[in-house]
Amino acid sequence: MVVQWAVEEHDGPVIAAGLVCDRQLVIENLKAGAIAICSTNHTVWDM
């Protein structure tokens, strides 16, 4: 997963964005180390 790679390779916080469009992808990205999610899908904004 790209987020996991970014967390391992870079020394700063990672925000997942782009094609994060449902609850499962939000959870996967947060578990991979993202500190936040950027999504235009309003159904995941209140998670």
Predicted TM-score of the model (pTM):
0.86
| pLDDT for res 47 | 85
| pLDDT for res 36 | 96
Radius of gyration, CA atoms only, the chain: 10
Tokens of 25: 């992808």
**How many whole angstroms separate alpha carbon 5 and alpha carbon 41?**
24
- Where do the DSSP E strands lie in 1-47? 15-17, 36-38
4-43 per-position pLDDT tens digit: 999 999 999 999 998 899 999 999 999 999 999 999 999 9
| pLDDT for res 13 | 97
Closest CA to 13 of 29, 38, 30, 33: 33
| pLDDT for res 19 | 87
Return the bridge partners of 38, or none: 17
